[in-house]
């Protein structure tokens, strides 16, 4: 699924990366705790989060996250947007809550980057 | 003893998140540019980042040494700070003394050190209370790809 389709499903606003909406993603990870993102997220996945500080972008850069989806209508501080522009990581902002955001994407075919802890999903062919 | 292909020290300031992660992003792109395999680069970047966040979160100042040989990538984080009184306890998932400032940034789940262990092939932690902490890791180069 492309970021453009994800934008439409989530009725989202593109804050960073309007030129990267053709990017394909298949998997996602949802968390408000960067410690968990570091432990479990896989490269090429979407990160769904309600956290808006610049560490969200740093963490995404380290992990090759494809794009950040800010949920619950959160408005990120200017430093976060600046860092995302510099590191070329798209940020989309949706007013849906985390549960709805995850559910709507899952319904359309996006799956978790792992299914459960200790059980890796078979490779779905994410590109970094 | 295998020859060193690359070596560098990166200073890190403690107590502030203003540049937190900057060094790890640089380490990641250096390794990429050296043509290291993407899985090794990813593991090294995660280890560097967890180490950098720990220095920022707990220490006064520190540095990360990155060295690359034909066989391995080594990441060594050394800091001046309070040290870790009980390393075995600190290694346990869920143990954390993170302050509210650290938690606000999304850290402090007590997963960092076990994550470093998970992504490295060898890990050695030494620490002296009131002096500082030294976290030494090694990632073996993947055979192919
Ligand atoms: N460089 C350090 N200096 C002093 N204490 C440290 C250092 N690194 C870790 N610690 C201690 O060990 C604990 C566990 O560290 P660890 O990185 O595993 O988790 P955390 O930093 O608390 O949370 P997380 O890494 O999941 O965000 C810390 O809370 C802290 O008490
Ligand atoms: Mg930590």
Query: Is residue B145, in this structure, part of any structural domain at all?
Result: no
Atom of ligand 1 nearest to the CA of B135: 1
Query: Is residue B1, in this structure, part of any structural domain at all?
Result: no
Q: Report the number of distinct structural domains present in chain B.
A: 1
Q: Does the beta carbon of B101 lie under 8 angstroms from any beta carbon of chain A?
A: no
The CATH number that applies at residue B21 is: 3.30.565.10
Whole-number pLDDT of residue A122: 57
Token look-up 């949706």 returns: A94
Query: Is residue B88, in this structure, part of any structural domain at all?
Result: yes
CA separation for the pair B36, A25 (Å, rounded): 25
Q: DSSP for A12-35? A: -EEEE-GGGTT-B--EEEE-S-HH
CA separation for the pair A84, A7 (Å, rounded): 17
Closest B-chain CA to A40:
B115
Whole-number pLDDT of residue A125: 58
**B45 Cβ contact list (under 8 Å, min separation 6):** A62, A63, B24, B25, B27, B28, B31
Which pLDDT tens digit goes with each residue over A4-44? 999 999 999 999 999 999 999 999 999 999 999 999 999 99
Q: Which burial class, exposed, middle or buried, applies to B117 when counting CB atoms under 10 A from its CB (0-12, 13-18, 19+)? A: middle
Whole-number pLDDT of residue B1: 59
Q: How many residues does chain B have?
A: 145
Q: Is it the case that residue A128 has pLDDT exceeding 60? A: no
CATH fit for domain A3-126, picks 3.90.1010.10, 1.10.260.40, 3.40.1390.20, 1.10.10.10: 3.40.1390.20
Q: Is the ipTM of this complex over 0.90?
A: yes
Which pLDDT tens digit goes with each residue over B10-31? 999 999 999 999 999 999 999 9
Q: Domain limits at B49? A: 6-140
Burial A21-49 (b: 16+ CB within 10 A, else e): bebebbbbbbbebbbbbbbbbbbbbbbbb
Q: Is it the case that residue A112 has pLDDT exceeding 60? A: yes
Token look-up 């001046």 returns: B80
Q: Which of A12, A18, A4, A36 is nearest to A112 (CA)?
A: A36
CA separation for the pair A41, A48 (Å, rounded): 11
* B contact residues 9-48, partner A, Cβ 8 Å cutoff: 17, 20-22, 24-25, 28, 38, 42, 45-46
The percent of residues in chain B predicted with pLDDT above 90, rounded, is 96
Which pLDDT tens digit goes with each residue over A78-96? 999 999 999 999 999 999 9
B90 Cα: distance to centroid of ligand 1 (angstroms) = 7
Which pLDDT tens digit goes with each residue over B55-98? 999 999 999 999 999 999 999 999 999 999 999 999 999 999 99
Whole-number pLDDT of residue B9: 98
Whole-number pLDDT of residue B2: 74
> Can you point out the beta strands (E) in chain A?
13-16, 27-30, 46-49, 67-70, 91-93, 111-112, 114-116, 119-120
Please tell me the distance in Å from A33's CA to the nearest CA on chain B.
Answer: 5
Query: Is residue B131, in this structure, part of any structural domain at all?
Result: yes
**A2 DSSP assignment:** B
CB atoms within 10 A of CB A9: 17
Q: What is the mean pLDDT of residues B112-139?
A: 97
**pTM summary value:** 0.94
Which pLDDT tens digit goes with each residue over A34-62? 999 999 999 999 999 999 999 999 999 99
């Amino acid at each position: 699924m492309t970021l453009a389709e994800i934008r439409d499903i989530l009725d989202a606003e593109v804050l960073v990366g309007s030129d990267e909406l053709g990017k394909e993603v298949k998997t996602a990870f949802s968390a408000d705790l960067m410690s968990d993102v570091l432990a479990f997220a896989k490269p090429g996945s979407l990160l769904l989060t309600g956290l808006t500080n610049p560490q969200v972008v740093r963490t995404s850069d380290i992990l090759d996250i494809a794009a950040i989806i800010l949920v619950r209508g959160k408005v990120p501080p200017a430093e976060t947007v600046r860092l995302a522009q510099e590191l070329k990581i798209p940020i989309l902002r949706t007013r849906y809550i985390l549960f709805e955001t995850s559910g709507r994407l899952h319904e359309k075919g996006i799956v978790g980057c792992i299914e459960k802890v200790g059980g890796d999903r078979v490779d779905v062919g994410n590109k970094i | 003893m295998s020859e060193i292909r690359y070596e560098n020290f990166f200073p890190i300031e403690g107590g502030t998140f203003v540049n937190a992660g900057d060094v790890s992003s640089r380490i990641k792109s250096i390794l990429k540019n050296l043509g290291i395999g993407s899985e090794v680069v990813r593991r090294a970047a995660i280890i560097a980042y967890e180490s950098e966040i720990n220095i920022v979160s707990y220490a006064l100042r520190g540095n990360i040494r990155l060295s690359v040989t034909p066989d391995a990538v080594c990441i060594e984080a050394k800091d001046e700070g309070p040290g870790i009184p009980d390393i075995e306890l600190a290694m346990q998932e869920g143990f954390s003394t993170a302050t509210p400032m650290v938690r606000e940034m999304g850290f402090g789940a007590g997963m960092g050190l076990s994550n470093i262990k998970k992504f490295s092939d060898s890990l050695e932690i030494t620490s002296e209370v009131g002096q500082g902490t030294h976290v030494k890791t090694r990632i073996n180069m993947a055979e192919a790809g």
